[in-house]
Amino acid sequence: MATSRQIEIGSRMGYRYEYGFSVVEEEEIVTTPPPLDTGDKYFFFQFRVRFTVRKREGGAAAGDDDVVLDRERYNLSLRRRENDGERRREGLRTFFRKILAGSRLRDYWMSDDEITDLCHSALEFAAEKSERARIVPVAVELNVCSVQKEGETFEACRERAIVGSKLLPLYLYLYPEEADVSRRRPFRPHNLVMINMPRIRVEHVDRNLMMEGCTLCKGNAVFGDQLSFLTCGHVFHSHCIARRLEHSNLCPTCSFQLYSFDLLQN
C-alpha cells in the first residue's frame, strides 16, 4: 500500500479510521471508459470498506487481529480538465469532500476534519499518479474500526460497532455508486426522502428521545446507532425506516404521509 494514514480524532468516541491508497488495474474499477484524447484526467476511486472491532490488550489497542463484521464497496469518479484554473480545482475538491465521498463517510461518524483529511489525501494521491497516466484507478482501503475502550467489555464494543448493514442502505445513494451491480436498485422518490432526512448517531442513551427505542425492530437505540428523524417527529433506526419506506409512504407510528407515490408514475 502506497500511503497509509491513521487519525486519532474519532477515537474520543471509541472509533478509529485507518486508510491507504493504491493504484489498481483499470478493469477492477472503471466500468465506463472515458472518451479518448481530450487531454483531461480521470480519477476513479473505489472505496473498499471493512467494518471491524478491535480488542484492547494490555492497555493498548492492537491492530493485527481486528474482527471483520461487515464490508461494503462503492465507486465514484472525477474528471479534471486540462485547463481548469485553481478556483475550479478547489470547487472539485469541495464537491468530492461534501457530496461524492462525504455523504457516505459521514454515516461512519467521521468528523469533518477526518473526512477532509481522507478526501484531500485521496485526491493528492491520484493527482500525483496522473502525471504519468490519463486514467487513474485508485483503491481506497478504509478500516472503520470500533476500538474497545478502557473498562468496556468486548461484547459492548461489538454492540456499538459501526457496520454497513445498520446504516442507511448504500443503494439509496446516487453518489457514491454501489460497486456490486446485483445490489443496485432503480431510483425511487423514497431514496431522496431517506437521504434528506436528518440523521444522527446516538451519543447519550439517556435522552428522552431515545427511550422509546425503534418500534420497527423493537430494539432500543443504543450508543452508536444511526437514527433518522421523520418530518412528523418520529424516530427510527435509519436502516429500519429505509426498508419500511420502500413499500409504504407513511410513518409507521402516526401514518403521516412522507412522500407521494404519484412521483413514481411521472
Instruction: Write out the residues near Zn ion by the rule CB under 5 A.
Output: 214, 216-217, 232, 234, 237, 240, 251, 253-254, 256
Name which of 4 and 255 has its Cβ closer to Zn ion: 255
Least distance from C-beta 260 to Zn ion, angstroms?
16
R_g of the chain computed on alpha carbons: 20
Name which of 97 and 239 has its Cβ closer to Zn ion: 239
- The residues facing 50 across adjacent strands are 71, 143
Residue 94: all three cell numbers together: 469541495
Name which of 171 and 256 has its Cβ closer to Zn ion: 256
Least distance from C-beta 136 to Zn ion, angstroms?
40
Name which of 38 and 255 has its Cβ closer to Zn ion: 255
Least distance from C-beta 220 to Zn ion, angstroms?
9
Q: What is the DSSP string of 159-185?
A: HT---GGGSS-GGG-SSSEES-GGG--
Name which of 163 and 251 has its Cβ closer to Zn ion: 251
Least distance from C-beta 124 to Zn ion, angstroms?
39
* SS3 state at 241: helix
Distance CA 157, CA 15 (A): 10
Least distance from C-beta 166 to Zn ion, angstroms?
9
Name which of 99 and 232 has its Cβ closer to Zn ion: 232
Under 8 Å between Cβ of 86 and 177 = no
In the chain, alpha helices (H): 26-29, 86-95, 102-105, 112-129, 154-159, 189-196, 208-211, 238-244, 262-265
Instruction: Residue 54: name the closest of 69, 40, 44 by CA.
Output: 69
Least distance from C-beta 14 to Zn ion, angstroms?
21
Instruction: Residue 222: name the closest of 161, 149, 150 by CA.
Output: 161
Which residue, chain included where needed, has cell 443496485? 184
Least distance from C-beta 237 to Zn ion, angstroms?
3
Burial zone of 214 (CB within 10 Å; 0-12 exposed, 13-18 middle, 19+ buried): buried
Name which of 24 and 250 has its Cβ closer to Zn ion: 250
Find how far residue 136's CA is from the centre of its chain. Answer: 22
